[in-house]
Amino acid sequence: MKGLAAMKASARREEILKYLQAHQTGYTAELCRELDVSAMTIRRDFEVMAGQGLVTLIRGGAALNHGTSVVYSLKLRQTHLPLEKQRIAQRCADMVCEGNSVFIDCGSTAERIGEALRGKKNITVLTNSLDTAQVLSTAKGIKLIMVPGEFNEAIRGFTGLLTTDFIQRFRIDYIFLGANGIDASHGMTVPDYADAETKRVLIRQSRHVIVAADHAKLGSSYFEIVARLPEIEAIVTDSDADETIVQELRADGTEVILV
């Protein structure tokens, strides 16, 4: 791990994260030696990572956050597996036909679905994602409906009672959901209860329920159960997905599409 002093901060923090995943806790003095950087640099990295939800600051260092109720910042997730998410998004967009109504959920993969839909004509897109709404705000041929609610900074979108009440006014052809985790035992799960309730209402209002999740989400589970596998029509994921997990997901009749 030596020689990272001149590397970009993002690359250095990736190395710090790998260290924490192996040791759970990292101290500033240790990481100074490992990375050959100053204590000030390590402390600054820890502060950034704490803001992303990755670590909790402790005396002299930081401890890795983990557990079913932990959610990392969307900015961090947007940089993870970009090519895989792009392929997933394009496959989801290919399902949509002229005249369809579509709901795009919050999340880094869902935002890319919005980008992939920009070339579609005569479709209606509803979203509670601030970033997806921005992506589609100048798209020609798409009627964009921004779903209201209480802003949730972690997912950069709107959730809560106002959101669910508004959603129940519509019947939606395709919903594209983002998931923090999905496995055979628990189905689709997320860390945030308000996000989970919003997703549950969306599922009830939709004809086709599609989960868009890269392979890193498969086999994981989080605090709130959103939907069991029989409620999910299809999971679109990338071809690096673990074959055993894919077969477990398919066992209950859910289609798993590899791209």
Does the residue 205 lie in any domain?
A: yes
Residues 240 and 125 in one domain: yes
Is the pTM of the predicted complex or chain greater than 0.85?
Answer: no
* Structural domain range at position 36: 9-66
Distance CA 184, CA 171 (A): 28
Pick from 2-6, 95-99, 142-146, 147-151: least confident: 2-6
Residue 227 phi/psi, 5-degree rounding, is: -155, 140
Residues 80 and 179 in one domain: yes
How long is the chain? 259
Distance CA 4, CA 140 (A): 45
Number of domains in the chain: 2
Q: Over the stretch 157-174, which tens digit does the pLDDT of each residue have? A: 999 999 999 999 999 999
Distance CA 81, CA 244 (A): 21
Give the model's pLDDT for residue 2.
46
Residues 99 and 216 in one domain: yes
- Per DSSP, the three-state class of 189 is strand
Give the model's pLDDT for residue 37.
92
Q: Over the stretch 183-206, which tens digit does the pLDDT of each residue have? A: 999 999 988 888 999 999 999 999
Whether 102 and 116 have beta carbons less than 8 Å apart is answered as no
Residues 101 and 118 in one domain: yes
Distance CA 111, CA 116 (A): 9
Distance CA 176, CA 110 (A): 7
Whether 196 and 190 have beta carbons less than 8 Å apart is answered as yes
Instruction: For residues 39-47, give the mean pLDDT.
Output: 91
Distance CA 240, CA 73 (A): 24
For residue 18, what is the domain's CATH number?
Answer: 1.10.10.10
